Chain A
Amino acid sequence: MADNSRRIVPIGPFHPLQEEPEFFKLVVEGEKVVDLEIHLGYNHRGHEFISPELTYDQIPFLVERICGICSNSHPLACVLAIEDCAGVKPPPRANYIRSIIHELERIHSHLLWVGLAGHFIGYNTVWMWAWRYREDILAVFEMITGNRNHYAANKPGGVRRDISKEQVPEILAALDLVEKKTMMLTKAVLDDPVIRSRLEGVGILKKSDAIAYSTVGPTARGSGVPWDVRHDDPHCAYDEVRWDVVVAEEGDVFAKARVRLLEIFESVKIVRQCLENLPDGPIQTRIEEIPPGEGCGRTEAPRGEVFHYIRSDGSNRPLRHKVRAPSYMNIASNVVAVRDGSIADAALTLAAVDPCYCCTERMAAFEDGRQKYTWQDLLRLSWQKTEQIREKMRR
C-alpha cells in the first residue's frame, strides 16, 4: 500500500484482546505505526477510595476483585503489607500454601496468554490446546479452594483453607499432566518456523527502555532484566525451594512467549517441592491489633510485581491503601514497543505485555465517514501475514 497519509486506528476501549478497557490510539502511516496514545480510566472502580472504608479483614476480598485472572496476587500482596505493618509472621504451613496457590495461578495465567497469542496469529489449535490444559489447573483450584477463580485463600495472618493429605496426590497428578502437555505445547510453539517468524523481531522493548519504564514481570525479563520479587525479596516459601528466574535477552514478543512458557515448568517445580515439604501446624496466626505505622507488601503476579502500601492510624481500617498492578508499568512501555512496527503486528505487540479481557467487541476506525478498519480487519491482517509467511516457507 503506497498510502503514506497519517490516520488513527483505535484499539479499544472495549476490546477482546484486553482484559480491562483501555484505549490505544495507533497513529499509522500506511501500514507502519508511528506513534501510540494511551487512554485509561474507562472502568475505574475506585478500590483505593473504598479500601479505607473497610476493615482489614474485608480488604483482601475487595482487592481480590481487581483482576479475575491473577486474583490471588492482590490479596497476597495486601496481607503481606498488613503483616509488615503489624510485624506479624504467618505460620510456615500458611507460607507454603500461599506459594502453592500463587504458582498454580501463574501456570493458568501463562497458559491463557499463550492461547490468546496463538489466536491472534491465526493458530487456533494452540489457543484450544492451551486453554484445555488450563482447565486441569482450574479444577485443582476448585478442589482446594472451592472456586475456579477468586479463591479467597489469604487472610491477614495466614490462609483460610488447608490442603488435606488426600488432595496432594490429585494436585500432583494434575501437575504431571500439565507438565507433559506444556512440554508438547512449548515444542510446538518454539520450534514452529511460522510462529517464530511471526513473533521474532516484533514489538522489541529494549533493555534500556524496560528499565526506564520500570517494567516488571515477563515484560522486563523478556528484555533481559532479571527482576523477580520472588527471588529478590523472598516471601512465603520462595527462599526454601529451588527454582530459576527465566530471562531472555531479545525483548521481542517471541522472548516474552518463551519466558512465559518456560516459567510454567519452574512453577510446577515450586509447587511439587512445596507439597513435598509442606510443614505441619496451624495455618493462621491471630493479629491482635494493627499499630499505627506503615507497611509494604509485594509479590510476583503472573504479569509482574504487585505492590501494596498500607498506612495505619491504629484503628481497624487503613488510613491509605495504595495498590499498583503490574500492567500499570507495563502498558506504558507499549509506546516504545509498538513504534515502527507494522499494523498487522500491533495487536500482538499490545497483547504481549498481557494487559489485564473484556468480552465486548466494539472497535471500528472511521475516516471521512467511511469505515476503515474493524477489529475483524486487524485480526484478518494478522492472519494474512501468518499465511504469507507459511506460503513462503512451503516454497
Chain B
Amino acid sequence: MSGQTHQSPRPALDEFCKRFPEVEVYEHNPRRLYLSIPRERLTEACRFLHEERGMRLSICTGLDTREGFEVLYHFSEDSTGTLYNLKVVVPKDDPRLDSQAGWFPACNWIEREMHELLGIEFPGHPNMEPLLTSDTDWDPNKHPLRRDYERRAEAHGR
C-alpha cells in the first residue's frame, strides 16, 4: 500500500483488500483511492463495490498508455464521499474485458463508447452497437482515442 496513511476507518477498503489480496492501492488523497486489479477479477470487484457496498458508478474512463489500455471504473461511495477508482490494464494484443452491462445497466453506454473510441472488446455486452456514430458512415476500424490515430500523431508526434 502506498500513498498516505488512513485518516478514518474504511470498512469497504479493508474488506476489498482482504477479498482481493493482489490489489495495489494508491491513496492520492483521503477521498480519492485508486485500486489496481487484474482484469480476470473485474466482474467480482465491480459486484462487490456496487452490490455489497452500495456504490454508484460515476463513469468509466478508457485510455491508451504505453503499457496497454487502462480502463478505470469510477465508483462513488456516497456515504463517505470517497471515489474508489478500479483500475484494470488490458494488453494491446488482446483488448478484451468482461462486460458488466448484463447485470449493471449503468455500464451499458460507456462500454459501447469505449468499444467505439478505443476498440476494446466487451464480450457478453447485450447490445454492442456504436453509441456515438450509429447513424453515420464512420469507419468502425478507426478509433479516435488510440495513440496511433493519425490526426493526433501528426499534430503532436505522441
Contacts and interface: CB of A to CB of B under 8 A. Distances in A.
Given A84-B29, A296-B74, A329-B106, A39 B61 contact: no
A206 interface: no
B26 to A, nearest CB: 9
B134 interface: yes
B57 interface: yes
B28 A294 contact: yes
Interface stretch (A97-105, A121-129, A318-326): A318-326
Interface in B73-104: 74, 76, 78-83, 85, 104
A212 B59 contact: no
B58 A232 contact: no
Given A84-B32, A233-B81, A319-B63, A41 B106 contact: no
Given A305-B58, A311-B63, A328-B109, A227 B145 contact: no
B32 A53 contact: no
A307 B56 contact: no
A49 interface: yes
A233 B135 contact: no
B56 A227 contact: yes
A84 B34 CA distance: 13
A41 B85 contact: no
B132 A41 contact: yes
Nearest to A211: B56
A49 B80 CA distance: 33
B144 interface: yes
Interface in B97-121: 104-106, 108-109, 117
A216 B105 CA distance: 14
B105 A212 contact: yes
B56 A214 contact: yes
Given A39-B134, A328-B109, A296 B56 contact: no
Nearest to B58: A307
Interface string A207-237: 0000111101000000000110100111000
B43 interface: no
Interface in A328-355: 328-329, 332
Contacts, number: 99
B74 A233 contact: no
Contact of A41 (B31, B134, B144): B134
A42 B135 contact: yes
- Chain B interface extent, by class: 35 or more
A40 to B, nearest CB: 6
B48 to A, nearest CB: 16
A44 interface: yes
Interface string B138-153: 0000001100000010
A244 to B, nearest CB: 16
A282 interface: no
Contacts of A227: 56, 76, 78
B106 A213 contact: yes
A232 B78 contact: yes
A232 B58 CA distance: 14
A309 interface: yes
B103 to A, nearest CB: 9
A332 B108 CA distance: 9
B131 interface: yes
Contact of B106 (A39, A48, A212): A212
B105 A332 contact: yes
B18 interface: no
B123 to A, nearest CB: 21
Contact of B132 (A40, A53, A305): A40
Given A84-B28, A213-B106, A233-B31, A309 B61 contact: yes
Given A49-B144, A84-B29, A41 B59 contact: no
28 contacts: A40-B109, A40-B132, A41-B132, A41-B134, A44-B132, A46-B144, A49-B152, A53-B155, A84-B28, A211-B56, A212-B106, A214-B56, A227-B56, A227-B76, A229-B81, A232-B80, A233-B31, A294-B34, A296-B74, A298-B83, A307-B58, A307-B59, A307-B74, A309-B61, A309-B74, A311-B63, A329-B106, A332-B109
Interface of B: 28-29, 31-32, 34, 54, 56-59, 61, 63, 65, 72, 74, 76, 78-83, 85, 104-106, 108-109, 117, 130-136, 144-145, 152, 155-156
